[in-house]
Structure 1
Amino acid sequence: MKADWCGFGAAEHGRQVEAALSEERESVGWQVVEEAKTDARRRWILALSQRRDERSLAVADYLEGGGGGEAAPVARARLQARARSSSDPMVTALALQQLCAPGACANVEASQWSRLEPANLQAWLALALDPASRARQTQAAYVLDRLAQEAKYARSYQRELHAVLSSLPQTQIPGLQNEAELQLMSALVFGWPLLSVGPLTDVCRSGLADTGTASRCQAVAQLLARQDNILHRAVGLGIARNLVAAQPAMRAAWEAQAQEFEAVSEWRGGAAERAASASEPEGAALACGGQAEVRQVLKDHLARSEWDRMRDGIDEAGVDEATLASRWRKREGRSVLDPRPAPQPASAPAKAG
């Protein structure tokens, strides 16, 4: 496997991983939890359906459409129909994640989201990635222009979905039903798909010789670098890195934001270690006892963004931002505004002897 990773090695690794997962899925423990999650999904769909408001009904269809089985295609068709006639951008955002198979129903157009919510960066990213639009060479440039002109914030509706789910009846007694709800909620909230910004970063890497493109890229970078999403800030500073490389005089305008990002990234890197040291697990006896802690994590996710939680952690610990940023730069060997080091060439495969 080591000598021929690109041939036999990777393929064998994938086979072994799939075999292990298949064995786990056939275990009684796996099946017990999956059945409990299916029951929790059904309870939530019923509760949402009884509310009758548009957003609750759309979330009910979204849950059913993602659950598999014979009911899923029908639920997806209902969700698409709701989205085509709805003025709620969240309904469109949900529908764009669960498109019908070709010919099964009429899917909502990706452009509907940006028509309903032109100030939302996420709506334009969805348009940039629309399979029906990507064939047009000017699509990414058009989206970049609209972002620079109209976008003011980024809202994916991940947290809004979490708010709807959190408002449903929840099991407070420790046990299997509680565990199933937590696993289902976590999968829905933390498994929310991220829209790629690749088409935009490509334009802002190759088109900076054009003054208009450079200006639009700067506006979009500033928008991204102000969001409460760490990934968005990273992308914004990535675009800024290209701008600084093309125009070194711009570096001073980005230094403060770069230092803050580096400090938060350094603090975030040690968050898991701090969390582990703060807890003292005592084996299986705490399996259900930890359910309340997981619910608190989900609650914190709803109340504050990851960026805000990291910033609050730095402030509460009284750690100096410049010190954290310095650690990050020392470890990475550069500032976030400096070019990434060129990748080292892969070592030659071992020869069979």
Structure 2
Amino acid sequence: MYAVTQTAAGGPDTLTWDQVPDPTPPGPDEVLVKVAAAGVNRADLLQRQGHYPPPAGASTTIGLECSGTIAAVGDKVTDQQIGEPCVALLSGGGYAEYAVVPAGQVIPPPEGVDLVSAGGLLEVAATVLSMTELAQLAAGETFLVHGGAGGIGSFAIQYGVALGARVITTAGSAEKLAYCRELGAATAIDYHTDWVEAVKAEGGADVILDVVGAKYLRSNLEVLRADGRLAIIGFQGGTKGEIDLGALLAKRGSVIAASLRSRPVEQKAAICEAVRETVWPLVSAGRITIPAETRMPITEVVEAHRRLESGDNTGKIILTVD
């Protein structure tokens, strides 16, 4: 089969679409997926750069989500059939013609969504659902989403609105701010301005979904309301920062950080089932629309990584596998 290979950690030019050994047959509780499309995520860039290695035993091929059809099933898999369309949450291996996945991390795509668009949905849906559950986001609360025009952000805005939250978001251009408002954000703030004061003027936030990390840590805690929860899912702005524990204690605040990729198989299977039961009906009913997407052939993976890295992209980049 063919897959994206990497000569060494580094820039996009280290990636190539090349022939590799065929995958091993699926184990008893696994499924072999013939890949139709794979979503491109920030974590993919980090892995390419050598900063986010796959968990032990996982495929070293980049790619945390894909869509396609089931090509083979393990001996113990009884509820999935060869030929069925699916989406899969991966620890690695999505940038390829085939991927072997634990069966619990393979679910049908949302009804009414084409298979290519579905290839960029599961990772963001699983991340947003799991983190908003950990942060206990509730109806009537104010939800601050950083990077609202990205793949995670554009989904989180809509999911927050569907839960009954009031959503504030940050983005980096007038076009992206308008896009965030179209998705349902009550307030969209240019992060090049003093977004801290702007969020304070809105009364602060009960829950914050943050992809930036250390650079925003102090500012996030400053805008957090009493009993607020800061949920960190990325570290584009660094991994180390200082917390004023006195200020956090005075607010009775919580700081939560979690990676979806490193969770045990059982947890990821439970999250995928929750996505299937809770999120997919919202997508099928049109309450969550497919975020803006850019489709590119997987042979153009170098340009896809450059585009995401530039910060100019809106929504999700999806690699199509012919």
Establish whether TM, by shorter chain, passes 0.5.
no
Report the structure number with the largest CA radius of gyration: 1
- TM-score of the superposed pair, with normalisation by structure 2: 0.27
Structure number having the greater strand percentage: 2
TM-score (norm 1): 0.26
Structure that is richer in helix per residue: 1
